[in-house]
Amino acid sequence: MVAAINRNNSVVQVLLAAGADPNLGDDFSSVYKTAKEQGIHSLEVLITREDDFNNRLNNRASFKGCTALHYAVLADDYRTVKELLDGGANPLQRNEMGHTPLDYAREGEVMKLLRTSEAKYQEKQRKREAEERRRFPLEQRLKEHIIGQESAIATVGAAIRRKENGWYDEEHPLVFLFLGSSGIGKTELAKQTAKYMHKDAKKGFIRLDMSEFQERHEVAKFIGSPPGYVGHEEGGQLTKKLKQCPNAVVLFDEVDKAHPDVLTIMLQLFDEGRLTDGKGKTIDCKDAIFIMTSNVASDEIAQHALQLRQEALEMSRNRIAENLGDVQISDKITISKNFKENVIRPILKAHFRRDEFLGRINEIVYFLPFCHSELIQLVNKE
């Protein structure tokens, strides 16, 4: 860091060749805080800091978390910036103030280099994360945190993998509708998917309770009020968070309770992969994953699951009675295509009254009530 701020390119080269980590952050926050922590006079800290670093740096500013790349950019030293980037420096690393090196760059060659490097680094990061996900599939993580719902887990995992492999239209976000009773894992599956996709980053999961958007005027809370209206500067609950993480996992909880005008906004979001806020700014979010949950048709799904389990049990008993060899009684059941098309689809059409809205859903995922063995697992887990 000292070499970087003082434009000592040859020293930076030697340090990198010796295995120095270019992404280490500075522990120095400010003159007065450092003096207090070390029990020495602030003037002594200031003189030492200026001798080691550079007297052009603001001694009132905090430099905690700044890397050698931050300092090389502050020194506007193209050669050292390039040397550090070639040596593995992360151009996306933020200091304690939340700033990347690019935030400190002046117009010119250094800024151009950083912009190019950021794009390349992001691409490498995506490939590295995709490889990690290939070795540790989403289904594996979900099964560690969710009891039962194997069919739902398999459906979500397969759809996300298809999206990553380019088998879905890249111009549209991935959209799920989770159906089933309350308390059987819909919200938890969405949370765990976000944790898996975004390395536990809080910004990677956005949850909106759609029961708060039942009235027409509450659309403004969703995308923000237009100019001249109260709350214009605050922005919308969805648009504000999507700006921070455009590829987030977004959960629309209890979507069946939302006002039809909110569904119109959501249709635009699903159809175009972007959303315009109350200030007229467009957020591109085609890489986001949108998950809606609903209790619509939950009674029918529960009844159908009960019937299927009863049929599976009867079949197993008959096989045992007929001495057909080893018989395994399985709790795994599959919702029939006939039930989906002839029972669930009409219920959804009657409720949402928007064929085009249902048409933009990539996967309808069914969550079934827990069977006896799954209830025992839940009790043991608690």
274-276 and 282-284 strand pairing: antiparallel
Distances in Å between the Cα of 252 and the Cα atoms of 110, 131, 208, 275 are: 42, 29, 5, 15
User: What are the percentages of helix, strand and coil residues in the chain, rounded to 5?
Assistant: 55, 10, 35
Q: Which of 182, 348, 155 is nearest to 254 (CA)?
A: 182
- Tell me how far apart the alpha carbons of residues 33 and 43 are, in angstroms, rounded to a whole number: 12
- Tell me how far apart the alpha carbons of residues 151 and 368 are, in angstroms, rounded to a whole number: 9
pLDDT at site 326 = 47
pLDDT at site 328 = 46
316-334: buried (b, 16+ CB within 10 Å) or exposed (e) per residue?
Answer: eeeeeeeeeeeeeeeeebe
Low-confidence ranges of the chain (pLDDT < 50): 325-330
Domain ranges (residues) in the chain: 1-27+64-132, 137-381
Digit-coded pLDDT (tens) for 110-155: 999 999 999 999 888 878 877 777 777 888 888 888 888 999 999 9
CATH topology for 137-381 is Rossmann fold (3.40.50)
Distances in Å between the Cα of 368 and the Cα atoms of 148, 331, 338 are: 9, 11, 17
Asked, colleague to colleague, whether 1-27+64-132 and 137-381 share their fold, the answer is no
Beta bridge partners of 175: 290
CATH topology for 1-27+64-132 is 1.25.40
174-179 and 205-209 strand pairing: unpaired
pTM of the model: 0.69
Any idea what DSSP says for residue 340?
I
Decide: helix, strand or coil at residue 289: strand
pLDDT at site 32 = 63
264 and 276 Cβ atoms separated by less than 8 Å? no
